[in-house]
A and B are shown apart, each in its own frame.
Chain A
Amino acid sequence: MTTIQTGSANRTRSIAIWSVVALIGATCWSVLALSRGEDVSALWILFAALSSYAIAYRFYSKFIAKKVLELDDTRATPAERLENGVDYEVTDRRVLFGHHFAAIAGAGPLVGPVLAAQMGYLPGTIWIIVGVILAGAVQDMVVLFFSMRRDGKSLGQMVRDEIGVIGGTAALIAVFAIMIIILAVLSLVVVNALAESAWGVFSIGLTIPIALFMGFYLRYIRPGRVLETTAIGVVALLLAIIGGGYVEQLGLEEALTLSKEHLVIALVLYGFIASILPVWMLLTPRDYLSTFMKVGVIVLLAVGLVVAAPVLQADAVTSFATEGNGPVFAGKIFPFVFITIACGALSGFHALIASGTTPKMISKESHVRMIGYGGMLMESFVAISALIAAVVIDQGLYYSMNAPAGLTGGTAEGAAQFVGTLGFTISPDQLNAAAAAIEEQTLVSRTGGAPTLAFGLSQVFHEAFGGNLQAFWYHFAIMFEALFILTAVDAGTRVGRFMLQDTIGNVWKRYGDVSWRPAAWSASAITVGAWGYFLYNGVSDPLGGINQLFPLFGIANQLLAAIALTLCVTLLIKHGKLKYAWVPGIPLAWDLIVTMTASWQKIFSDNPALGYFAQADKFRDARDAGEVLAPAADADQMGTVIQNSMTNGILQSLFAILVIIVVANAVVIWVRAIRAGSLPTTEVPHTPSAIVEPADFFATAEEKRAMASWAEERRQQGDGRGREPVRSHR
């Protein structure tokens, strides 16, 4: 066959394959759109997602790569130009994909969709899939690209350099404040999952000695044997989960059944100690554990869902979506479904990773596509799986678990009665039986998303793999969520500490020295104190911490995305690519509409269930009149509600104002750049690249030939460094 014939045969085959993928996607979406009141399999959601991702990756990300960003493999990346074996390092694309994914994936995409299931399965499904394709993956890819072209500069630095000092300062404050809220909400999820659960406390508690053991083992006994150490750690972890089932027999049940307040104290102390200990002792080994657990559970979940093929129990769209009176969180489908899902569709926090370590390790420019866009598609897949886990459980149980204790009274009878008023039927006996099946004392008002997800997972795994292991699976899932939330808390506190030291270091030089103990300890204490404060507010709030704080978390994350997308639009315009500014521009416009509407409602709504200040007013008026409003039980709790609502409202306003400042500053630059046609940026000039590597996950025949001839060329030149660029240690 001649080359032309082969080419056209390949083309025909490619058209045929993509037509089939498109057809599968269209079928799945049609079934989801048209099925009402009948048994719908969860697999329709799963396959609608997978085929949509495939098409988006193949076509849209390619368009962005070729036309919008004009990825250029003749340009050397920062890793190639500045390689130093420390932070700049040429890394295999598939390995870097793993690192990047491990860094962006956390508890957010697991928890958000579970809470958003209150709106029904359809709104969540649509936003997780459409959102990632048009917004989340675009943001990650474009930020990664621009940071890579600037030697891996951070988001805050780029905003400062490319938009202005005002915008840059606002962005810096916003990043720090948003991180505090994120840490507080994630910790709240852990506290809610572990409170009153002796089994959970036992196994999560044991992760600390396990990680310490791994740390010492790696440092003193078997230096560098990470895989061996991790294998030992994983086995110990599984034993810890199994052992938790025997807390009663061990006589530890009472000692380990902790209240939320005690858990807060434990977590704050832990966070402080973990952030000042050397990383090799606790943080690094814990990170190994959580990364391997994360990947393992995701694979297990995907297999479990396909094998179990559960039927969706939730309605496609619930009445809470249109009326905004849901018990899990207040507000209508617009804007709150977008706020709640957050990380699985669009996450501003990813912009910090995409402008942090990843851009310094990319070996070829073309890898931005698979790592930035591809990595986020995988995160979205995690979110879809979490959503499925929440909508395949009995919905009476879902609402019993997710309504705040103020509404259910915290008892099975109260919960059964409450969900009855929502139109669901579940008896107290059924609730008790569900709790007994996973060996927990109760499932009522276990808010925060983690217990619901764990219950959903345990049900899916139980159906898929059989055996009498539902309680094990439940605690396995709790362990896995808590493990990587705690990793995020450790790492986040440390990042916060470094940011604080860096900022104060601008004025007081010595404070910026990260190895100076007084500075390190005090900066850690400030960071921990800040998130600990919000965490404590969350657990003591009679209205329910998740109900109160999760919207703040979601809005904060989406506002950070607005800052990142603003930067993307600004840079495209400055580079004279106004005609492609719509690529990050459309998600930016949408994100601003969503977040500003949500902020407006949380600040100015006169509905006390929705607006923070309206809520504070309502409780203040009642207190002044000497009344006590449910769910508060006394005047003290009334005071707590008022104070928390005021704090949250002020913080909410601050976030929105900071973002408006960044966007306003950017608009000035847009106008200037459009008038001038383009403006100079801090992009590093073109330097020729010597590395030859495939562009995507799998090498094409042509790429394999190119790599082979490159290896041959280097061998003949006596370079002796072989095919892979060797990472030398200097």
Chain B
Amino acid sequence: MNIATRVWRGLRWYLREFSGESRWDAYLVACQRDGVTPASRREFERHRADQVEHAPMARCC
């Protein structure tokens, strides 16, 4: 793998982790491991948004 590819992959991995996009993938993997049928993406993301609703994130000055 040349450096450009590695940097690109690293960046992509970081951004997906940072933004929480990779949660969905992790969820699918977990469902497969546990033999559970996954919820739809829409339901999954709604559930996550509802959690954020009750946990106010602090933003500093």
Do B30 and A226 touch (CB < 8 A)? no
**How would you classify the secondary structure of chain A's contact residues: helix, strand, loop or mixed?**
helix
Do A87 and B55 touch (CB < 8 A)? yes
Contacting residues, chain A, for B59 (C-beta < 8 A): 103, 106, 287, 484, 487-488, 490-492
Minimum CB distance partner of B49 in chain A? A280
B20 at the A interface (CB under 8 A):
yes
1/0 contact string of B24-43 vs chain A (CB within 8 Å)? 10110110010000000110
Alpha-carbon distance between A118 and B55 when the two chains are bound, in angstroms: 40
Q: Which of A280, A284, A287, A350 contacts B60 (CB 8 A)?
A: A350
Instruction: Give, as a whole number of angstroms, the nearest-CB distance from B13 to chain A.
Output: 9
Alpha-carbon distance between A729 and B61 when the two chains are bound, in angstroms: 32
Do A557 and B17 touch (CB < 8 A)? no
Which residues between 6 and 23 of chain B lie within 8 Å of chain A, taking CB atoms? 14-21, 23
Do B57 and A105 touch (CB < 8 A)? no
Query: Which one of A218, A223, A557 has the greatest number of beta carbons of chain B within 10 Å?
Result: A223
Do B61 and A343 touch (CB < 8 A)? yes
Do A729 and B27 touch (CB < 8 A)? yes
Alpha-carbon distance between A225 and B27 when the two chains are bound, in angstroms: 15
Alpha-carbon distance between A342 and B26 when the two chains are bound, in angstroms: 40
Instruction: Give, as a whole number of angstroms, the nearest-CB distance from A516 to chain B.
Output: 12
Which residues between 314 and 362 of chain A lie within 8 Å of chain B, taking CB atoms? 342-343, 347, 349-350, 352-353, 356-357
Instruction: Give, as a whole number of angstroms, the nearest-CB distance from A665 to chain B.
Output: 25
A638 at the B interface (CB under 8 A):
no
Alpha-carbon distance between A641 and B7 when the two chains are bound, in angstroms: 57
Minimum CB distance partner of A493 in chain B? B56
Q: Which of A349, A515, A726 contacts B61 (CB 8 A)?
A: A349
Instruction: Give, as a whole number of angstroms, the nearest-CB distance from A625 to chain B.
Output: 41
Do A223 and B60 touch (CB < 8 A)? no
Alpha-carbon distance between A343 and B47 when the two chains are bound, in angstroms: 35
Do A223 and B41 touch (CB < 8 A)? yes
Contacting residues, chain B, for A287 (C-beta < 8 A): 57, 59
**How would you classify the secondary structure of chain B's contact residues: helix, strand, loop or mixed?**
helix
Alpha-carbon distance between A349 and B41 when the two chains are bound, in angstroms: 36
Number of A-B contacts (CB under 8 A): 115
Alpha-carbon distance between A648 and B50 when the two chains are bound, in angstroms: 39
Do B44 and A729 touch (CB < 8 A)? yes
Q: A224-B21, A224-B24, A230-B19 are in contact. Are A494 and B56 (CB under 8 A)?
A: yes
A514 at the B interface (CB under 8 A):
yes
Q: Which of A491, A497, A727, A729 contacts B58 (CB 8 A)?
A: A491
1/0 contact string of A172-214 vs chain B (CB within 8 Å)? 0000000000100010000000000000000000000000000
Q: Which of B20, B33, B58 contacts A356 (CB 8 A)?
A: B58
Minimum CB distance partner of A183 in chain B? B61
Do A288 and B19 touch (CB < 8 A)? yes
Alpha-carbon distance between A350 and B54 when the two chains are bound, in angstroms: 21
Q: A223-B45, A224-B21, A729-B44 are in contact. Are A488 and B26 (CB under 8 A)?
A: no
Q: A224-B44, A227-B21 are in contact. Are A729 and B57 (CB under 8 A)?
A: no
Contacting residues, chain B, for A105 (C-beta < 8 A): 60
Contacting residues, chain A, for B14 (C-beta < 8 A): 94-95, 98
Query: Which one of A95, A186, A343 has the greatest number of beta carbons of chain B within 10 Å?
Result: A95
A86 at the B interface (CB under 8 A):
yes
Give me the interface of B with A, judged by CB distance under 8 Å. Answer: 14-21, 23-24, 26-27, 29-30, 33, 41-42, 44-49, 51-61
Supplied contacts A219-B46, A342-B61, A729-B27, 14 more A-B pairs, CB within 8 Å: A95-B18, A219-B49, A223-B42, A224-B45, A278-B49, A347-B61, A349-B60, A352-B60, A356-B58, A484-B59, A488-B59, A490-B59, A491-B59, A728-B27
Instruction: Sample 11 A-B pairs with CB under 8 A, ordered by A number.
Output: A95-B17, A106-B59, A182-B61, A224-B23, A230-B19, A280-B52, A347-B60, A347-B61, A352-B60, A557-B61, A726-B26
